[in-house]
Amino acid sequence: MAWKDPDIETFRALWKKRAATRGQVTIPEQRATFDADMGAIPLAPGCVVESLDLSGVPAEKITPTGAAPGKALLYLHGGGHVFGSLKSHRHLVSRFAVAAGVTAFHIDYRLAPEHPYPAALEDALKVYKQILATGIAPEDVIVGGESAGGNLATALLLKVREDGLPQPAGLYLLSPWLDMTTAGESYVKVGARDPIITREGIEMVSAAYLGGKPDNAFTSPVRADPTGLPPMLIQVGSEEVLLSDSLTFADHAAMAGVEVKLHVWPEMPHAWPLFHVFISAGLAAIEEAGQWMRQRLDTKLRAAA
């Protein structure tokens, strides 16, 4: 494929150089580097950050100027269930909060391999219950996440359904990792074009997350029945080995009668809005997601700046 966007070419070169040293550092070192790099990206203007403890889970509340009262986004960060944190994703969550015009919550769920499945799911469920306990109605909440966070967001709503709890207004998935196996067609057709993820990398983080437990519908939601899940927006890049995860899950959701909006962005690599300082199309994707969230939550559009 001919790469037309100079942002993408620059990003690919940068990430290729970074990937070359990935196997030479420990998981704690990878976590520290990722937090330092992503944490240096500034918040969206006009956001106030408050540290929270939500049922024992470290969290942050990010409130942009003019946020609609009582409307919320619960965002679950990516990182293969192995890295990622409040610090690494604070800037991205603030962008989503501004685009949606809502208060956003994001959490430091427990990570593998120290805390394999179901630790992260347990944390996410406790936080969802706590948010509802504060008086925010489920129809005023969007649950979202990217990559492994998309995996966790989907698993959370499957668990919410299993426990008989009310579903939120919508599910937002960005480049979601929804299958612990590497059997998707995109691993073969897109693998050579993906600058971020490899089959070997997915196998490694999958083993860490499962921790010796068998794969199931909560760890690989592509094998779940999505009946009863709320309307969803899925954004995914054409250059991702995880593309098949989104295509398969969107197909299953549509067949189950769930409202699905799937947008495959040409040229885009994995989780590109996280790297919006390098890839300007990331801001366009954030705005698209924010507009969808506003529609789901029935919030007014922002006044022109």
The burial class, CB within 10 Å (0-12 / 13-18 / 19+), for 2 is exposed
Q: Which residue in this structure is represented by tokens 């925010």?
A: 136
Angle between helices 86-100 and 27-39 (to 10 degrees): 40
- Give helix then strand counts, H and E, for the chain: 9, 8
Q: What is the largest CA-CA distance in the chain?
A: 52
Orientation of helix 281-297 relative to helix 86-100, angle to 10°: 60
Token representation of residue 244: 């098949």
Q: Which amino acid is at 231?
A: P
Q: Enter the tokens of residue 17.
A: 């150089």
Query: What's the order of all strands across the beta sheet hosting 103-107?
Result: 47-54, 57-64, 103-107, 72-76, 141-146, 170-174, 232-237, 260-265
Residue 122: partners with Cβ closer than 8 Å, 6 or more residues away:
none
Which are the contacts of 293, defined by CB distance < 8 A and separation ≥ 6? 73, 96, 99, 100, 102, 142, 170, 172, 299
Residues taking part in catalysis: 147, 240, 270
